[in-house]
Amino acid sequence: MARVLGASYRDAMVAMIASVGEPKRTATYDDVRSAPEHQVAEILDGELFLSPRPATPHANASSVIGGEILGAFHGPPPPRSPARPGGWWILHEPELHLGDDVVVPDLAGWRRERLTRIPNAPWIDLAPDWLCETLSPSTAAIDRGRKLRIYARAGAAHVWLVDPLAHTLEVLALDEGRWLVAAVHSGSDSVRAEPFGAIELDLSRLWID
C-alpha cells in the first residue's frame, strides 16, 4: 500500500525538486554595498565572495611591500633621485571594476602615462599595470584561480603573489593572455622584482615569524 504523504512533506519535496538546476543569481553591486563592514566583498565571474579581514602575517607583508613601493614610485619622479624613480600611482586595497567583475587586490599600481590622475570616485575601472595579492589560507585558491583569470582578461601586465607563511614572492608576467612565472623569490633574499626592479626589496621584512 502506498504511503500517503502529508501536505507539508509534499510541499518541501516540490520546493527541493524545483530548486535543482536553478541558475545561481548573478551578484550585483548592491550585494557589495550591503556586505558586512568587517569583510571584503568582491564579485568574481558573477558570484559574490566575502573574505575576512587579513590576519597579521598578511597585513605585515602587504604593509611592507606597500610602503617600499609607494615610497619609491608613487607620484611624479623627483629631480635627480634614482632611489625614488616615481612615475606610478600605488593604492592600497582599491576597488576595481573590471568589466562585470568587482575585485579588491591588496595593492595595485598604474603607470602615470596611463592613469594621469587618481579619480575622485569610489572605484577605478582602468585595469592596473601591476597588482599584488597577499595569500591567506582562506583566499589563496581564489587569488590563484578566478582573480588571476580576471586580471589576465583585463590586461594587467604583472601580478605579485606573496605567501607570508611560505615566505615566497612569485612574480607573474602576462604573455599573450597567459601568466608566465618570471621569478620566484624566497626567504630573506634582497631582490629586484619587475616592474619595480629599480629598487631592492628586503624580503626578510615581509615575514613576522
Summarised one tens digit per residue, pLDDT across range 43-85 is 999 999 999 888 999 999 999 999 999 999 998 876 656 667 8
Computed over every residue of the chain, the mean pLDDT equals 89
Confidence at residue 14, expressed as pLDDT on a 0 to 100 scale: 43
Indicate the pTM of the whole model: 0.85
3-state helix/strand/coil string of 130-183: EEEEECCCCCHHHHHHHHHHHHHHHCCCEEEEEECCCCEEEEEEEECCEEEEEE
| CA-wise closest residue to 122 among 104, 144, 149, 147 | 104
Largest CA distance in the chain: 94
| Per-residue pLDDT at 102 exceeds 80 | yes
Confidence at residue 78, expressed as pLDDT on a 0 to 100 scale: 67
The amino acid at residue 49 is F
Summarised one tens digit per residue, pLDDT across range 182-204 is 999 999 999 999 999 999 999 99
List the grid coordinates of 61: 607583508
Confidence at residue 2, expressed as pLDDT on a 0 to 100 scale: 39
In the structure, what pLDDT confidence band is assigned to residue 170 with cuts at 50, 70 and 90?
A: very high
Q: What is the mean pLDDT of residues 147-160?
A: 98
Domains of the chain with CATH codes: 54-206 (3.90.1570.10)
